[in-house]
A and B are shown apart, each in its own frame.
Chain A
Amino acid sequence: MVVEALIKEKVEVIFGYPGGAVLPLYDALFDADIKHIMPRHEQGGIHAADGYARATGKPGVCIATSGPGATNLVTGIANAYMDSVPVVAITGQVPVPLIGTDAFQEADITGITLPITKHNYLVKDVKDLPGMIKEAFYVSVTGRPGPVLVDIPRDVFVQEANFEYPERIDMRSYRPTYTGHGGQINRALRVIREAKKPVICTGGGVVGSGAQEELLKIAEMAQIPVTSTLMGLGGFPGGHPLSLGMLGMHGTVCANYAVTESDLFIGIGMRFDDRVTGKLDSFAPEAKVIHIDIDPAEIGKNIAVNVPIVGDIKRILGQMLKKLKKGDTREWVSQVDEWKRLYPLGYEYSEEELKPQYVIEQICKITGGDAVIATDVGQHQMWTAQYFTFNKARSLISSGGLGTMGYGFPAAIGAQIGRPGETVFCIAGDGSIQMNSQELATAVGNQLPIKVAIINNQYLGMVRQWQELFFKRRYSSTFLEQGPDFVKLAEAYGAAGIRVTKPGEVVPALQQAMEIKDRPVFIDFQVASEENVFPMVAPASPINQIIGGGKE
């Protein structure tokens, strides 16, 4: 019955790991016309489902058994929740009569995931099953998307009932707003017309809503510079003259200056996270704020908003485009260009030492920027955001809100399965790749040609950087001298392994990797060990006080 429901939902692929409580489901899947990918750890499974969802825009589906199977999903669920990714997790549960008795492999997974799911269900009666699965998918993908968990006891899987799958769904307690309020849109348009120094900031919502074309038109018509959060990269072409690059802690100097000096800040599908705003009091202090988001609870949560517009971004920007009149921003755009020219991103290239930024630049070059890039979390993630030019939506797949190390590689697996013909890179650190390197078996088993670029500096680099800057270089537990030989590790699983130690070897290694079409490849880039990510704004500081960039 579950399988029938999944077919009704047009699920093409499931990332799942079997176990006692889901045995009946796996028996049904054995003959079903749905692709099933088995990870080597449930966390890998849910991250893959998450990566699949981000790469394709379709909901990612994963399955785990009761108890430890379900609890192994927890990090992945929290990750999807923080970044508003539509994931449906189906977990097995002990039989209904045993619930609450501390039975073997029992865990109260609906209780555990209460704060990290958009909603969750415990199906105690098979009659409720079709309706609950329908609702789960509906809730997960509509409004502000998010993970939904459906917990199904073992005996419910085998109970029989008439399968009536609801065609439509109407929940009196859940009705997202899609169309923007006309009055607010008019106010926003007036404010935009009057603004002399406007800035747009794109968040993950622009990508999620598929609003990149509308946004591009608005920015070009009204001549407004565009910055972005990490999650919003690709929502506006990074190579566009109006693009300022990323905002915030590791954002560009020009983006941080522009926002600080702006008289109008237009936040679109972003949630004013502390990594973006820095010290709230000094964030865009002179600016009026227009905030467009599908989730009314995000509006006014962290900063006061002058013009709130709740609804679907694509639709709202479409509504705005009809009546948009531009103001005069010529002076402002040339000021912003001046900052761009004065304070570009940069690093000291070296012939001796391999610089991580150089590696990212070469990946960008060899792919022509036309690739799906999944990242882990840390320095390499920030260098990727800075030195890879993301021109297309859904080309960056990265753990933004939760900052989950170990996310990148399984997410790349999900992305490659969702977009089979395309080039998929995973850019990882030597620390984070080890958090889910077991998924090499999954990637090899499914002949996925993922290119894993390990930025190996033998440190937990971002933590080390903070220790250097804020803890007197006391490198407590951040040195990874025991790191494995990544080439041998890859080969042990049947994947390819390449080692790169000098700048001259980077391009040939990447070319070699691009030629491999039938298995994953690990490229161990042994980079300068104490390179830092700059520019940087210290936590809780104003974003125009920048370390390693800007005015001294």
Chain B
Amino acid sequence: MKHVLAVIVENRPGVLTRVAGLFSRRGFNIDSIAVGETEDSELSRMTILVEGDENVIEQVIKQLNKLIDVVKISNLTNESTVNRELVLIKVKAEPAARAELQQLAETFRAKIVDVSLDSIIVEVTGDDEKIKAFELLLRHFGIQELVRTGKISMMRGVKYIKINGEGGKSG
């Protein structure tokens, strides 16, 4: 099963290496990881997608907690969340195919952000399913390059991650 972890870390050099190194040496698999500063510039937030059963995830969380630079971990897997990922796709686009691509992009609320003689770059955001469906359709035209940011995730409604609140670090 895939789990989504929001990991708040000190915004310091080497923190990503510490987290990534922990995953590789303990044999945990990262599906994707997205990192960026938070509302507090001293903190970064990592959204990590990790595959494994309950025991594995428990160990992942406990081991992450042991890293001195990790401030807080929230497991968002069973929360109601907004999930987004941004993808850039460079597609072959002969002039004849452009109209059709334009239409497809509109349907998926994707944007064409760059046009050249025989290709375009499409930007699409959304959840997994939408992106998968879109990618599948674009394959017919010929995808030259694809890059994705990795998923980011935030709880819906009144809940939010408090740095010093419940679920903070102990041990």
B68:A118 contact, CB within 8 angstroms: yes
Of all chain A residues, the one with the shortest Cβ separation from B25 is A115
Of all chain A residues, the one with the shortest Cβ separation from B59 is A301
Q: How many chain-A residues does the 8 Å CB contact rule pick out? A: 23
A550 contacts partner chain B, Cβ-Cβ < 8 Å? no
B17 contacts partner chain A, Cβ-Cβ < 8 Å? yes
Q: CB-CB < 8 A to B55: which residues of A?
A: 300
Q: CB-CB < 8 A to A421: which residues of B?
A: none
Considering only residues 10-28 of chain A, those with a C-beta below 8 Å from chain B are: none
Considering only residues 332-365 of chain A, those with a C-beta below 8 Å from chain B are: none
Query: Among the listed B10, B25, B58, B63, which residue makes an inter-chain contact with A173, where contact means beta carbons less than 8 Å apart?
Result: B10
B62:A111 contact, CB within 8 angstroms: no
A221 to B21, CA, bound (A): 46
B50 contacts partner chain A, Cβ-Cβ < 8 Å? no
Of all chain A residues, the one with the shortest Cβ separation from B70 is A173
B65 contacts partner chain A, Cβ-Cβ < 8 Å? yes
Query: Among the listed B18, B65, B169, which residue makes an inter-chain contact with A297, where contact means beta carbons less than 8 Å apart?
Result: B65
Contacts A115-B25, A296-B62, A297-B66 given; does A173 touch B171 at CB 8 Å: no
Smallest beta-carbon distance A359→chain B, Å = 40
B14 contacts partner chain A, Cβ-Cβ < 8 Å? yes
A173:B169 contact, CB within 8 angstroms: yes
B116 contacts partner chain A, Cβ-Cβ < 8 Å? no
Of all chain A residues, the one with the shortest Cβ separation from B66 is A297
A175:B170 contact, CB within 8 angstroms: yes
Smallest beta-carbon distance A301→chain B, Å = 6
A174 to B169, CA, bound (A): 7
A429 to B14, CA, bound (A): 41
Smallest beta-carbon distance A297→chain B, Å = 4
Query: Among the listed B62, B164, B170, which residue makes an inter-chain contact with A176, where contact means beta carbons less than 8 Å apart?
Result: B170
1/0 contact trace for A108-146 toward B, CB 8 Å?
001100110011001000000000000000010001000
B69 contacts partner chain A, Cβ-Cβ < 8 Å? yes
B66:A295 contact, CB within 8 angstroms: yes
Of all chain B residues, the one with the shortest Cβ separation from A116 is B25
Between A171, A297, A301, the greatest number of chain B beta carbons within 10 A of the residue's beta carbon is seen for A297
Contacts A139-B68, A172-B71 given; does A300 touch B58 at CB 8 Å: yes
Contacts A114-B17, A115-B21, A173-B10 given; does A296 touch B171 at CB 8 Å: yes
Q: CB-CB < 8 A to A115: which residues of B?
A: 21-22, 25
B163 contacts partner chain A, Cβ-Cβ < 8 Å? yes
Q: CB-CB < 8 A to B18: which residues of A?
A: 114
Q: CB-CB < 8 A to A313: which residues of B?
A: none
Q: CB-CB < 8 A to B62: which residues of A?
A: 296-297
A110 to B169, CA, bound (A): 24
Query: Among the listed A111, A173, A177, A301, which residue makes an inter-chain contact with B71, where contact means beta carbons less than 8 Å apart?
Result: A173
Smallest beta-carbon distance A296→chain B, Å = 4
A294 contacts partner chain B, Cβ-Cβ < 8 Å? yes
Interface bracket on B = 20 to 34
A80 contacts partner chain B, Cβ-Cβ < 8 Å? no
Of all chain A residues, the one with the shortest Cβ separation from B10 is A173
Q: CB-CB < 8 A to B163: which residues of A?
A: 172
Of all chain B residues, the one with the shortest Cβ separation from A114 is B21
A310 contacts partner chain B, Cβ-Cβ < 8 Å? yes
Q: CB-CB < 8 A to A110: which residues of B?
A: 14
Q: CB-CB < 8 A to B10: which residues of A?
A: 173
Of all chain A residues, the one with the shortest Cβ separation from B13 is A122
Considering only residues 195-230 of chain A, those with a C-beta below 8 Å from chain B are: none
1/0 contact trace for A160-176 toward B, CB 8 Å?
00000000000111111
Contacts A172-B164, A173-B169 given; does A297 touch B63 at CB 8 Å: yes
B164:A173 contact, CB within 8 angstroms: no
Smallest beta-carbon distance B3→chain A, Å = 17
Q: CB-CB < 8 A to B65: which residues of A?
A: 296-297
Q: CB-CB < 8 A to A177: which residues of B?
A: 170-171
A175:B169 contact, CB within 8 angstroms: yes
Q: CB-CB < 8 A to B69: which residues of A?
A: 173
1/0 contact trace for B118-137 toward A, CB 8 Å?
00000000000000000000
Q: CB-CB < 8 A to A297: which residues of B?
A: 59, 62-63, 65-66, 171
Smallest beta-carbon distance B162→chain A, Å = 12
Q: CB-CB < 8 A to B70: which residues of A?
A: 173
Q: CB-CB < 8 A to A296: which residues of B?
A: 62, 65, 170-171
Considering only residues 389-404 of chain A, those with a C-beta below 8 Å from chain B are: none
1/0 contact trace for B68-105 toward A, CB 8 Å?
11110000000000000000000000000000000000
A122 to B13, CA, bound (A): 10
B170:A171 contact, CB within 8 angstroms: no
B21:A310 contact, CB within 8 angstroms: no
A174:B63 contact, CB within 8 angstroms: no
A300 to B55, CA, bound (A): 8
A495 to B12, CA, bound (A): 50
B68:A295 contact, CB within 8 angstroms: no
A519 to B147, CA, bound (A): 68
Between B17, B22, B168, B170, the greatest number of chain A beta carbons within 10 A of the residue's beta carbon is seen for B170
Closest 6 A-B residue pairs measured CB to CB? A297-B62, A119-B68, A296-B171, A173-B71, A177-B170, A177-B171
- A residues at B contact (CB < 8 Å): 110-111, 114-115, 118-119, 122, 139, 143, 171-177, 294-297, 300-301, 310
5 additional A-B residue pairs with CB within 8 Å, beyond A143-B171, A172-B71: A110-B14, A173-B70, A175-B168, A296-B170, A300-B59
Could you name 7 residue pairs across A and B whose Cβ atoms are closer than 8 Å? A115-B25, A118-B68, A171-B68, A175-B168, A177-B170, A177-B171, A296-B62
